[in-house]
Chain A
């Protein structure tokens, strides 16, 4: 069983990872999709519902 200090550190790391995924997941997909699409789309078309 890990010590309390290690546990606290693990909880902190998990919390940080959660926040990172929360804010970074959609931008990550858009970045991956934008860079790997063929042909590369215009950026405005990605964001706006009307364009």
Chain B
């Protein structure tokens, strides 16, 4: 299979500008042909294994995070008004209000999203003038550049993150730079590599290089593993950080509508030994989503997202901390409106 593709592959790999160095190409190639032959056979063998892409390191625990309600929990009251102004390209404006939370002050947030098939622009600003900016540019199916920034009037609260993501046939590569300074190259640099080893198992590592000052640098590598079942119905992951934190997760799709997830975090650092286990379930019903969660710190929480109409959803959340004897309750509404008629949104006309 690969023999027909092989010569062109050789040229592209070893010679960055084949058209310029045409005359001495043959001698140059013949000198290293054992190497390219070896590489060719290696990539042929690698293709023949037909391993799937393992997904990105960032999305290692995505299924668990979507099932657990840690990221969805809120208290007090909130209202989200989203307005779709265009479908293709997608353009949306949102206003969100939060009030009466025990941990956060009342706030107002204005957001705007513009998205085409390969460009995403997102921005939000709160009432204090802090801006969140995000931009994703896809160069091809497998190659994405991401930019993320937090801009604040307070000194030292601003953050910039640049990211380059590449997804190969059976591996994922990612490089990140957080607050890179062009003058003395301080900042945090993160690189990760994730490789499928068998059809089910993927192994990888993530290296964090921290340069607070040019003299003070720190290097830390964490190791990752992910096991996906053959029918993709359950996923187990593990992540070991050098500071002594081990995080293992398990996610299973019990049926079309029910997902369950478990998460165990073990901290075995010299100054602190601790473990937290979290169990959660998510029910996806026709007009509602219900999440329930129980963890070993004594917290029981639940969140119901009920859709009364396609454009109107009502949220109720609650959490009881049995060990601290504390409780949190939250209610929210989500209203989506559109300036477009159903025909303009591409829906079939209702008769």
Chain A positions within 8 Å of B, measured between CB atoms, are: 2, 7, 10-11, 14, 18, 21-22, 25-26, 28-30, 32-34, 36-39, 41-42, 45-46, 49
Contacts and interface: CB of A to CB of B under 8 A. Distances in A.
Given A29-B122, A41-B339, A49-B95, A21 B183 contact: no
Main secondary structure of the interface of B (DSSP, over half): strand
B245 interface: no
A42 B85 CA distance: 9
Interface in B66-105: 81, 83, 85-86, 88-89, 91, 93, 95
Given A25-B123, A25-B133, A33 B91 contact: yes
Nearest to B91: A33
B133 A37 contact: no
A29 B183 contact: no
A34 B85 CA distance: 9
A38 to B, nearest CB: 6
Interface in B144-182: 149, 151, 158, 182
Interface residues on chain B, size class:
20 to 34
A38 B86 contact: yes
B121 A29 contact: yes
A29 B124 CA distance: 10
Given A26-B131, A29-B112, A49-B81, A18 B339 contact: no
19 contacts: A7-B183, A10-B183, A11-B183, A18-B151, A21-B131, A22-B151, A25-B131, A25-B133, A28-B121, A29-B123, A33-B89, A33-B91, A34-B91, A36-B86, A36-B114, A38-B88, A41-B85, A41-B86, A42-B339
A36 B109 CA distance: 24
A44 B3 CA distance: 62
Contact of B110 (A18, A26, A28): A26
Contacts of A10: 182-183
Nearest to B149: A21
Contacts of A30: 93, 112
Q: Which 6 A-B pairs have the closest CB atoms?
A: A37-B86, A33-B91, A22-B151, A33-B114, A49-B95, A41-B85
Contacts of A7: 183-184
Contacts of B158: 18
Contact of A32 (B95, B121, B182): B121
Given A10-B183, A39-B344, A21 B133 contact: yes
A37 B151 contact: no
B86 A32 contact: no
Interface string B113-156: 11000000111110000010100000000000000010100000
Contacts of A49: 81, 95
Contacts of A34: 91
Contacts of A18: 151, 158
Given A21-B133, A39-B344, 16 more contacts: A10-B182, A22-B131, A25-B133, A26-B110, A26-B125, A28-B121, A28-B123, A29-B121, A32-B114, A33-B89, A36-B91, A36-B114, A37-B85, A38-B86, A39-B86, A41-B85
B102 to A, nearest CB: 26
B91 A37 contact: yes
> Which of B85, B133, B149 counts the most chain A CB atoms within 10 A?
B85
A33 B93 CA distance: 10
Contacts of A33: 85-86, 89, 91, 112, 114
Nearest to A45: B339
Contacts of B123: 25-26, 28-29
A13 to B, nearest CB: 9
A34 B121 CA distance: 13
Nearest to B184: A7
